[in-house]
Structure 1
Amino acid sequence: MARRIPIPAKLALRRGRPTSTEVALIEQAILATARSMFLADGFDGVSMEKIAAATGITRTTLYSRYATKSDLFRSVVRETLARWYAVSRVEATDRITDIGQILHLRVADMASLLVDPLFRGLHALILLNRHRFPDLAPLMHDLGYLNAVRLLANDIRAAAQRDGIPVARPEAVAEHILTAVHGWFLQYDLVRELTAQDIEAHGREVVDLMLLARDRW
C-alpha cells in the first residue's frame, strides 16, 4: 500500500525563467526536502529559510509557492499520503482469483507499511501536531484506513460474485481484518521490535480465521 518516496538531490538550476519541467522539479524538491526536515526536526525545529537553503532555491521562490510554513507542512502531508495510497497491488489481484491469496497480499502490504520508517515518522508527526492541524488526522484516516477498507471490501465483493457466495457486509469484514492486524501491531510494538514478517504472519492467521466463517459474511 506504500512505496518509499526518494528525496532528490539539492537543485542546481540554470539562470533565467524556469521551464515547465524545472518548475515541476522545484516543487518535488521542495516537498521532499521539507518532508525530510520535518521528520528529522519536527515542525517547530524547521524554518522556511532552512528549507529554501537545503533545497537550493531562494526564500522568494519558496514563499511564492507557500505563504507560510503551515501551508507547506499541509502540502507535504497531503502529497505524501496521496502518493502512498495511490499505489496498491491492483495489478497482482487482477491475476489472482482466490480470495485467501488476495487477502494475504493485502495484509503483506499492510505489514510493509506499518514498519516503513517514513510512514511511522509521518504518522507520529501528524499525531504530535493534530491539534495544530486538525484537518490532517482525518485526511490520513480517509486516505489510509478508510482507503484500505474500501480496497479490501472491493476484493471481498468481487470474490463473492466470482464464487457465488453472497456477502452481506463486505466493509465490516474488511474492518475486522484491518483492526485485528493493526490492533495487534499497536500492542506488541510497545514491547518488542516487530518485523514485517511478524505482522504478515499474524495477518495471515487473521485472514484464515475469517475465511472459516465466510458463510457468515
Structure 2
Amino acid sequence: MIEPNLPAVAEGKTSKPRRGRPSRAAIAEIDARILEAAWKAFLAHGFNGTSMEAIANWAGVTKTTLYLRHVDKLALLRAVITDRTGKWGERARLTDWTTGKTLEERLVHYARTMLRWSQHPEVMATRRLVEGSIGEAGEIARELDRALRDPMIDLLVKEINCLATIDGTPPSDPRELVRIFMGMVDAVREIGESQQLDSDALSLKAEAVAGILLRGRSAW
C-alpha cells in the first residue's frame, strides 16, 4: 500500500513570525496546513506514533501556533476528523449512488461503488487508523467511520422503502436490513484484500451480495 506523503521537514527551520496581525486568508491557510499535515501524519504513523512537535514541523509552524489552535493531540485528532468528514462528504455528494431502475440494480451499483472506494489508498490508511487507535483516540477515530456510514445507511433505507414497497415485499426493519447488507459488503472487501482480487472479480461479488440479500426476501 502507498503511504500518504508527508510534507518535507525543514532542516532545523521554522516559519518566520510575521509582523502585524495576519489576515483572515493567512490564518485560514495556516489552519488548513496544520490539519493536512496532522491528517497525513496520523495516517502514516498512527495516533500514538505521531507527536505534536512533529506535526508542527511538518506544517511549518511553531509549537506555540499549534497549541493556540489545538490544546492537545486529542483535540487535534477531533479537528482533523471533522475536517476530513466534511471533505469526504462533499466528495460523496458528487457520487451517483442510485444508478439502476430496480432495487437489485441499485444494490449492485452501491456495492460496486463501495468496493471501488475501499481500494483507495487513503481509505485503506484511514481504516488502519480507525482500527489501530485505542481509548478516547479510538472513539474519536471511529466517529469518522460512523459519519461516513450513516448518510449511506439513510440513503439505502430510503431506496429499499421505496422500491421494495413498489414490488410488494417491504422489509419489517429496513435499517437492520441495510446494516446486514453493508456488513456483507465489508466481508467481500476483506475477502478481496486477502485474496488480492481485481476489480472485475469484486464486481462479480457485488452482484452476488445483492443476489443473496434479495433471494432471501422471505426472511425480511
TM score, norm. by length of structure 1: 0.77
Please, which of 63, 70, 92 is the counterpart of residue 74 of structure 2? 70
- Cα displacement (A) at 1:202: 0.9
RMSD: 3.4
Matched AA of 1:209: I
Which residue type is aligned with residue 209 of structure 2? V
Aligned residue identity for 1:43 = F
| Structure 1 residues 35 and 177: alpha-carbon distance in aligned structure 2, compared to 1, 3 A threshold | same
Q: Deviations over 1:22-49 (max 9, x none)?
A: 3222222211111111222222332222
Matched residue type, 2:211:
D
Give CA deviations for 1:63-96 in whole Å, capped at 9, x if unaligned: 1100112211222233223432454367735675
Distance in structure 2 (CA, Å) of the matches to 1:20 and 1:54: 22
1:188 Cα deviation after fit: 5.0
Structure 2 residue 52 is matched with structure 1 residue 53: no
Q: Separation in 1 of the partners of 2:23 and 2:100?
A: 44
1:135 maps to a residue whose letter is E
Matched pairs, number: 211
Distance of aligned partners of 1:32 and 1:195 in 2 relative to their CA distance in 1, 3 Å threshold? farther
* Separation (CA, whole Å) in 2 of partners of 1:12 and 1:97: 59
Work out the CA distance in 2 between the residues paired with 1:186 and 1:27. 36
Q: 1:84 aligns with which of 66, 81, 88?
A: 88
Establish whether residue 100 from structure 1 lines up as the match of residue 119 from structure 2. Answer: no
Q: Secondary structure at the match of 1:135?
A: helix
Partner of 1:198: 201
How high is the TM-score relative to the length of structure 2? 0.76
Q: 1:165 aligns with which of 168, 191, 198?
A: 168
Q: Percent identity?
A: 25
Conserved? CA contact 1:13–1:22, under 8 Å: no
Equivalent position SS for 1:17: coil
Alignment equivalent of 1:36, drawn from 29, 35, 40: 40
Q: How far off is 1:150 after superposition?
A: 2.2
Gaps of 5+ in 1: none
Aligned pair in 2 of structure 1 residues 66, 77: CA closer, same or farther (>3 Å)? Answer: same
| CA deviation map 1:140-197 (0-9, x unaligned) | 4522444432221111113235x3535132223212221112123324533x223444
User: What residue ranges of structure 2 are gaps of 5+ in the alignment?
Assistant: 10-14
Decide whether the 8 Å contact of 2:6 with 2:58 is kept in 1: no
